[in-house]
Amino acid sequence: MDRFIIRGGRPLRGEIVIGGAKNAGLKLMVAGLLTAERLVLTNVPRIADIATMRDLLIQHGVAVEDVNGDGSAYAVGGEITSTEAPYDIVSKMRASILVLGPLLARCREARVSLPGGCAIGTRPVDMHLKGLEALGAEIRLENGYINARAPEGLIGERIILPFASVGATENLLMAATLAKGRTEIVNAAREPEIGDLVACLNKMGARISGSGSGTLVIDGVEALQGAEHRIMPDRIECGTYACAAGITGGDVRLVGGRLDDLGAVVRTLEEAGVEVTEDEKGLRVRRTGALRGVDIMTEPYPGFPTDMQAQFMALLSVAEGASMVTETIFENRFMHVPELNRMGARINVHGSSAIIRGVHALSGAPVMATDLRASFSLILAGLAAHGETILSRVYHLDRGYEAVERKLAACGANIERVRE
């Protein structure tokens, strides 16, 4: 298991190129299951979750060609020879559940392992299953697997989601593209990655409207075709490096970053004393004064993203005054708190809220990554801390961030990966 050794205290200065979005790329690869033709995706991030998704698709029998030989573009397509998504892959990556809708729509059957819980919460998939049942699927849960059939094909229906779940919206959206008639998804999630998926599906011949409005209207078509699509920039990677510039008192250009996707994050950064401006290349993030405490509540998009909560905790732990962070999306997403406290932060958790009392400085310590975003909050703390931080279990980070040590070191950070 690799570790990072970080020697903190250097303000970051320079340029970081933002990669393709993990949470868009994964779904776009799955969209390749909806057609036998080639779906070419570019700006693919080179991260472990994408490699896992590639393995899953290959396991279904479709070809996944590495177009440039360097993992930056994939062509997905071909006949599906297996409609089973096995436990060993689904348990490794929950987003695997997203093959359920497309497999059902195209092959009229699917057998997908139940994903189970994960470190940040129980994360049920009931809305995915109820929605597919509304589209006419028969679903049985047996031996830890979801067995789904739609012998006559799926049929369009009006589905009202009780909560704007990202995954349920995507699963139902993809399934509905090949259903008979019109499907409406009411209270659909509005995350920009869903907009990217809609744009790609429409290029493939789907008929979807209402992107970003909270109601998606899908008129089913007989078949989808191949297409080419460039994956949108990763707004969470961008927000994360913006926090790195903020916590170190640096000045960083985030090439490819887009203000439009980051409204709530940028507003919060500015409230905390971090300046963000946009130009034709991307974003410039800098801090000249002291950091100030702010209150944050995570919400579905366009609210403040839960995927940025851990990184802001690190930032706020060295801000003047007190901050309150309330997590409303996942029930167990404060695992970084004890680790941050070991580095000198003063954070108390009360249920779904955490009170952070800003300290003057953090001190380096051996810490352990527990999930993807939590790992980066510890890197941020390490970059700002006095002394040496040793972060273990870096594999959590490698699931979703490409070339972290290279990107940070290029801006002057003292960070080194120790391979084991």
- β-strand pairing of 388-392 with 366-368: parallel
Binding mask 306-345 vs ligand UD1 (x if CB under 6 A, - otherwise)?
A: xx---------------------xx---------------
Set 118, 200, 243, 411: catalytic member = 118
Separation between Cα atoms, residue 33 and residue 277, nearest integer Å: 39
Contact between 47 and ligand UD1 (CB under 6 A)? no
Range in contact with ligand UD1 (rule: CB under 6 A) among 165-173, 241-249, 269-277, 407-415: 165-173
Q: Which residue has the tokens 């000249």?
A: 288
Q: Least distance (Å) from ligand UD1 to the CB of residue 128? A: 5
Q: Which residue reads 């950091």 in tokens?
A: 291
Q: Is 197 in the site for ligand UD1 (CB under 6 A)?
A: no
Nearer to ligand UD1, 125 or 413 (CB): 125
Q: What is the largest CA-CA distance in the chain?
A: 65
Residue number, 304 or 344, with CB nearest to ligand UD1:
304
Which H or E run contains 71?
Answer: none
Residue found under tokens 């939590």: 374
Place of tokens 């998926």: 197
The interface with ligand UD1 within residues 341-380 (CB under 6 A) comprises none
Q: Where are the alpha helices (DSSP H) in 249-398?
A: 263-271, 309-316, 336-342, 372-384, 395-398
Does 95 interact with ligand UD1 (rule: CB under 6 A)? yes
Nearest to 42 by CA among 66, 17, 61, 18: 66
124 binds ligand UD1 per the rule CB under 6 A = yes
| Tokens, residue 208 | 């979807």
Residue 279's CB: how many other CB atoms inside 10 A?
A: 8
Asked whether the beta carbons of 402 and 51 are under 8 A apart, the reply is no
Nearer to ligand UD1, 330 or 376 (CB): 330
In this structure, what token pair is assigned to residue 86? 């096995």
CB of 367 to ligand UD1, least distance (A): 22
Interface size with ligand UD1, residues (CB under 6 A): 19
Q: Does 117 bind ligand UD1 (CB under 6 A)?
A: no
> The tokens 């700006």 sit on which residue?
43
Q: Is 130 annotated as a binding residue?
A: no
Looking only at residues 17 through 46 of this chain, which bind ligand UD1 when binding is defined by CB under 6 A? Answer: 23, 26
Q: Would you count residue 126 as binding ligand UD1 (CB under 6 A)? A: yes
Active site residue 411: no
Q: Select the span of 4-12, 118-126, 134-142, 401-409 touching ligand UD1 (CB under 6 A).
A: 118-126
DSSP letter, residue 193: H
Give bridge partners of residue 180 from the DSSP assignment. 155
Least CB distance to ligand UD1 at residue 329 (A): 5
Is 329 flagged in the annotation as binding?
Answer: yes
CB of 334 to ligand UD1, least distance (A): 14
Cβ 370 to ligand UD1, closest distance in Å? 15
- Residue nearest to ligand UD1 according to CB distances in the complex: 167
Comparing CB distances to ligand UD1, the nearer of 26 and 384 is: 26
Residues 6+ apart with CB under 8 A from 243: 269, 308, 311, 312, 314, 315, 380
Report whether 23 belongs to an annotated binding site.
yes
Q: Is 397 in the site for ligand UD1 (CB under 6 A)?
A: no
Report how far residue 104's alpha carbon sits from residue 106's, in angstroms, rounded to the nearest whole number.
Answer: 6
Partners of 217 in beta bridges: 184, 209
**CB within 8 Å of 186: residues ≥ 6 apart:** 158, 159, 160, 161, 214, 215
Q: Is 18 annotated as a binding residue?
A: no
What's the CA gap between 209 and 185, in Å, rounded? 11
Binding residue (CB under 6 A) for ligand UD1 from 1, 160, 163, 361:
163
Instruction: Map residue 143 onto helix, strand or coil.
Output: coil
Per CB under 6 A, the segment of 102-110, 117-125, 206-214, 388-396 that binds ligand UD1 is 117-125
143 carries a ligand binding annotation: no
Residues with a known catalytic role: 118
Name the site residues for ligand UD1 (rule: CB under 6 A): 23, 26, 95, 121, 123-128, 163, 165-168, 306-307, 329-330
